[in-house]
Every structure is written in structure tokens, then in C-alpha cells.
Amino acid sequence: MAGAIGTLSGLALGPAAARAEVPTPRAQDWQAVPAPGSTPAAQLRRIAAAGPRLAWAVGEEGRAGPSQGRALAMLWNGDAWMKTDLAHLGHTRLLDVAGTCSAAAWSVGQPVGTGSALLRWDGTTWREAAFPGTGETDVRLNSVAAGSDRQVWICGSRGGGAGLLYGDGGGEVWRWLEPMPVTSVNLYRVVVRPAGEVWVGGDQSNGGGWSGLVARWDGAWTVLPPVAGLRLSIADLHVAGPDDVWAVGTEAGIGGPPGRPGNPALCHWDGTAWTRAEAGFTVGSLSGIAGDAQGRAAWIAGWNYRDQGRSTYLRRDGDAWTVMRGPAGTAPAPYLNDVTSVPGTGGFWSVGMTSATPAPPTEAYTEGLEG
């Protein structure tokens, strides 16, 4: 499926290609943080932090070959990651998570069967929450974001139309907003600005493939021009303002054998047009982007096929992005799916898996950067 993350395999290019284009490692302060308890194959797909002593990470575990796995959720208590018991729920994976305090977090995922599920963290455990469309086979909930006012925004689709599901601060009243005025859309990410704007990213069919899609909701939809590319999907967004939007993702290219790695896509919107920026490597993906305490895009999580011995980041240096490496020797070939800032600090979290493919013995993986 277009825009999928955490499922790439680099075997198709062969060892000769893998020896080229390896950037010189640079010193940095990212450190691996144990995330014990997952059953291989496991991965963490997304992470959200409410502060230095509270964060949630979600994904899947127990995946073996084509068989479906089980949902995986972890909680950071300020000292360690702990696996959260999901035995009372029947879900194959959790796709995203958002939270603002110890008793207010949300996740979206896939139950066994059809449709999508909405989960709420009550301070002790995850439980399913009802929403318009619960149990409907054509409902897809793909990403969730929570504002400082505890309002909740979920992007997905219902009845064939892509759009937003909105929940009030208490999570008691939910409603679908006006669908997007475009068709053949897949939405993979939703982010909320302090100003109340809600942005979504994904892709849209263009007849011969798909182009990156970014749109804004502020009471009505504004769909930006397509992000041009050869089968390009947007995985994450950082919005500093309507004329300062960074979008990251993967360009699948013109085809190739199954498992062919794509190319990292790093794009900037200046209020008028999209421009492509250099990622510092050409084979791999970019999966998450996070801003600093001033709201400026700061770190990007990615995967460099040609340098898999450590995790890969891009760090904002002025107007450019610089490739940075994670800690050495902590995982065979770590793959990052997401990065987020830690409110109230200058720190960051990233999550993913210990190798580039979700197959045993891959396990859940996290890194932290103290601020």
C-alpha cells in the first residue's frame, strides 16, 4: 500500500550498491533506551510525549511471515518503558497515538476483522471508545493528534471519502467533519498547530501512480498543490506556519522487484510552491519529523539503506539538513518510524525496530536525546 512504513527490504540492490554513498558518522548524543517485553517480530510505529515523565508508544508484535500480529503499546513513566497489557483487546496493530496528560491519550488501530478501532487511555489501561462509524467495514482511522485544549483530531475515511473525525476535550462527543473535496486519497498523518489549524498528509492517485498530498482544515479545506514525484507519499508533517511546512516521506520510484527500497522525500512549502530539499542520502525513507521548543522543524527520523549499522537522522542546521547517526552497536540494523519532541524540555524520542524488516527476531526499539 502506498505510504506504508516499516516494511522495506534492501536486499534487491545487492552488496555492490550497499558499499557506496556511506556518509561519515558524526558524534551525537542520541542514546538507545531499552523497550523490553515485545514478542518478535515487533515494531513501534508512533510515539507521543506529554512531558519528561510520560510518553506512549504503539505498534505491533508477534508478527511472523504473512500472519497478523498483535497490538503493542508501551508507557514511559520517567524511568523506564513498560509494556501495557492489551490482552482484553483483539487488535492486530496500533497505528498512532496522541496524549496530553496521564488520563488522556488516544490511539487508533486495526481490530481482528474489518473496520478501525479507537482506543482511550484512562490512566491505567487502554479501552475501546465508541465513535460515529464504530464497526463499519469501510471506516479507516489512520492517525490521531491532540491539541493543548485536549481536543482530538483523527484522519481517515468513511464511506469512501477522506476527512477528519473530531472529538471534544472530554472525548464524549465525536463527529465527522466535511469530507475533503478531492477523491482517491489516503491520509497517513494529522498534526495540530497551536493556532487551531489542523493539517493532514498522505497521497492521492494521479492516474499512473500517486503524488504526495498535504491539506489544511481551519473550518474549511484548503488542499495544497500536489507534491510531485514518482509514487510519492507523505508520512509526516511539521507546520511552523502556513508558509513554512515541511513534509517527509518516501518516493517509491518507477517500480522494481518486491521489497525495492524507495528514495527519501524531503519537501518544503513556502506558501506558494513546493521545493525538494537534499536529504543527504538517496536510497531509503524519511518517516517522522519533530519541531523544537520554538516550533521550528528540528529533527527527522529516517532509514538509509546504504548505511544500516546505526539509526539515521537529519538535523536542522540553519537552512540545511545534516545527516546524523544514532548510537553504535545497539541493534543489528535499526529502522526508525517516528520522532517527537518532549514538551517542557529540549529532548526528543524516536521509535522503530531493531532491523529493517518486521520479521523475527526484530524487536521494538527506542532512542532518546536529552535536552
Sign of the CA dihedral with 178 first, then 150, 234, and 224 last: positive
pLDDT at 5 over 60: no
pTM of the model: 0.91
Return the SS3 of 169: coil
Are 201 and 189 in contact by the 8 Å Cβ rule? The answer is yes
pLDDT of residue 147: 87
Higher pLDDT, 194 or 140: 140
Higher pLDDT, 11 or 269: 269
- Domains of the chain in sequence order: 11-369 (2.130.10.10)
Q: Which of 331, 336, 329, 332 is closest to 304 using CA atoms?
A: 336
Distance CA 297, CA 207 (A): 33
pLDDT of residue 364: 98
Distance CA 250, CA 210 (A): 11
pLDDT of residue 170: 67
How crowded is residue 240: how many other Cβ atoms within 10 Å of its Cβ? 14
pLDDT of residue 217: 96
Distance CA 290, CA 299 (A): 5
Cα of 327 vs its chain's centroid, Å: 21
Are 215 and 199 in contact by the 8 Å Cβ rule? The answer is yes
At residue 4, what is the residue type? A
Contacts of 106 (CB under 8 A, 6+ apart): 97, 98, 99, 118, 119, 120, 121, 129, 144, 146, 152, 154, 167, 171
